[in-house]
Amino acid sequence: MLPPGSTIGILGGGQLGRMMAVAAVQLGYKVIGFAPAGDNVAGDVCADFITAAWDDAAALAAFAGRCAVVTWEFENVPLGTVSAIPQHLLACPSRALEVAQDRLNEKNFAAEFGGTPAPYARVESPADFAAALTSIGTPGILKTARDGYDGKGQWRVRSALEAGGVPFPGVTCIYEGFVTYETEFSVILVRGRDGTIKFWDSTANLHEGGMLTQSILPAGALVEAQVPAARQLAAKVADTLGYVGVLTLEFFATREGPVFNEMAPRVHNSGHWTIEGAATSQFENHIRAICGLPLGGTATRFASIEMRNIVGEDALKAHAILNEPGEPHLHLYGKAEAREGRKMGHVTRVGHALK
């Protein structure tokens, strides 16, 4: 159990790291962040922030030397960076990153434990793409196997004719057939150092252009019926990886059951509602887990909850949201530039409290 006053290291400087740092400070810890130059908004709430390249060995050594435990805020931290951190400092094994950083790996991994992914094929050349179109058909989506998020590195293919206009990116890709589904939902769990697992309620998630825009509770009867099977898969994944902290698996709710989409070994956008809406937020429970503290309760506190992302220039007028009825809870991330398609904050609205 990490004593108060100890230092937590966070790899990454985005809004997830920012909210993790706030939770850590409330529990009496200090936080040091590490990331390359950029809009590192986590640095606003960290005791210190080291700005250096991911492969800067001297800077990483200095960072690790000041930390009692190290975690990450997004899954694309280079494996070389993580391997440079003394293994006893890592909150959980890096295998979670190895799986999540490659879409082919994570599909195979989920299928190994009984998960049902959408039909998919490995694509390394235009010839592979043509073969995938023949075997899987259209509509579908071509994605780079590595990197890319919020709709980046993805090309929707509505027909074989349209496929001819897709610019093959020249890197390993995955082609996925479209799934007919009612809604998307996520399973978010926290696993402690002792193997204890707790789940938050699953939200129905709405996306636009590949980016999450809204998460809603209650999620509806179809999602609620499929949550037990989805949780079973998530628990197997967490236990197999020896995972510690918050882990997220995303699913499509179909008439045939839950279809696995992807995993994120970290706190997740669809769990932001837990700050106001759950007994313990995903951010606080992640800190509790990696520090060896008892996990907090995950029960939902309100009869209805909506979390909506604030994107791009909408952030410039976001304070007007505070004038709206229903006591909205506004979170702005402090990003300097309000670019199109960039997550700038979120707002959570809650219904009446559950007794």
Residue 190 has pLDDT above 90, yes or no: yes
Residue 18 lies in a domain: yes
Task: Taking each helix axis as running N to C, give the angle between helix 103-112 and helix 221-241, from 0 to 180 degrees, rounded to the nearest 10.
Answer: 100
Residue 355 has pLDDT above 70, yes or no: no
What confidence score (pLDDT) does residue 152 get? Answer: 66
Please identify, among 137, 160, 177, the residue that sits at the C-terminal boundary of a domain.
177
What CATH number does residue 129 fall under?
Answer: 3.30.1490.20
**Do 35 and 80 share a domain, yes or no?**
yes
**Rounded mean pLDDT of 213-228?**
97
Q: How far apart are CA 355 and CA 345, in angstroms?
A: 30
What confidence score (pLDDT) does residue 28 get? Answer: 98
CA distances from 131 to 123, 143, 169 (A): 9, 16, 17
Residue 355 lies in a domain: no
Q: How far apart are CA 144 and CA 149, in angstroms?
A: 10
Residue 64 lies in a domain: yes
Q: Please state, for a pLDDT cut of 90, what percent of the chain lies above it.
A: 84
**Do 17 and 59 share a domain, yes or no?**
yes
pLDDT in tens, 243-289: 999 999 999 999 999 999 999 999 999 999 999 999 999 999 999 99
Domain containing residue 76: 7-90
DSSP characters over 167-186 = ---SS-EEEEE----SEEEE
Residue 104 lies in a domain: no
**Would strands 30-35 and 7-11 be described as parallel, antiparallel, or unpaired?**
parallel
**Do 28 and 161 share a domain, yes or no?**
no
What confidence score (pLDDT) does residue 84 get? Answer: 96
Residue 108 has pLDDT above 90, yes or no: yes
Is the peptide bond preceding residue 86 cis, with omega within 30 degrees of 0? no
Residue 190 lies in a domain: yes
Instruction: Kindly indicate the confidence band of residue 353, based on its pLDDT and cuts at 50, 70 and 90.
Output: confident
Residue 342 has pLDDT above 90, yes or no: yes
Instruction: Kindly indicate the confidence band of residue 97, based on its pLDDT and cuts at 50, 70 and 90.
Output: very high
User: Which of 17-31, 153-167, 319-333, 339-353 bottoms out in mean pLDDT, i.e. has the lowest?
Assistant: 153-167
CA distances from 317 to 215, 341, 353 (A): 21, 16, 29
Question: Could you tell me which residues come within 8 angstroms of residue 295 by beta carbon, excluding any fewer than 6 positions away?
Answer: 190, 192, 196, 198, 280, 285, 288, 289
**Do 172 and 201 share a domain, yes or no?**
no
Residue 260 lies in a domain: yes
State the DSSP H helix or E strand holding residue 99, giving kind and residue range, or none if neither. helix 95-100
**Do 289 and 187 share a domain, yes or no?**
yes
pLDDT in tens, 123-171: 998 889 889 888 998 898 888 998 766 556 788 888 776 677 677 777 8
**Do 80 and 215 share a domain, yes or no?**
no
Average pLDDT of the residues of the chain: 94
**Do 164 and 213 share a domain, yes or no?**
no
Please identify, among 69, 90, 111, the residue that sits at the C-terminal boundary of a domain.
90
Residue 266 CB neighbour total at 10 angstroms: 25
Q: Assess contact for 29 and 287: CB atoms under 8 A.
A: yes
What confidence score (pLDDT) does residue 161 get? Answer: 67
**Do 199 and 236 share a domain, yes or no?**
yes
**Do 264 and 206 share a domain, yes or no?**
yes
**Do 295 and 203 share a domain, yes or no?**
yes
Q: Assess contact for 318 and 345: CB atoms under 8 A.
A: yes
Residue 274 lies in a domain: yes
Cα dihedral 223→224→229→232 (10° resolution):
120
Q: Is 3 exposed, middle or buried (0-12, 13-18, 19+ CB in 10 A)?
A: exposed
What CATH number does residue 266 fall under?
Answer: 3.30.470.20
**Rounded mean pLDDT of 194-209?**
96
Q: How far apart are CA 36 and CA 13, in angstroms?
A: 8
Residue 146 lies in a domain: yes
Question: Could you tell me which residues come within 8 angstroms of residue 189 by beta carbon, excluding any fewer than 6 positions away?
Answer: 197, 198, 199, 200, 231, 234, 235, 238, 246, 247, 248
Question: How many domains is the chain partitioned into structurally?
Answer: 3
**Do 263 and 125 share a domain, yes or no?**
no
**Do 188 and 323 share a domain, yes or no?**
yes
**Rounded mean pLDDT of 183-189?**
97
Please identify, among 144, 177, 210, the residue that sits at the C-terminal boundary of a domain.
177
Q: Tell whether pTM > 0.85.
A: yes
* Chain centre to alpha carbon of residue 225: 23
What CATH number does residue 79 fall under?
Answer: 3.40.50.20
Higher pLDDT, 31 or 210: 31
pLDDT in tens, 33-85: 999 999 999 999 999 999 999 999 999 999 999 999 999 999 999 999 999 99
Q: Assess contact for 200 and 298: CB atoms under 8 A.
A: yes
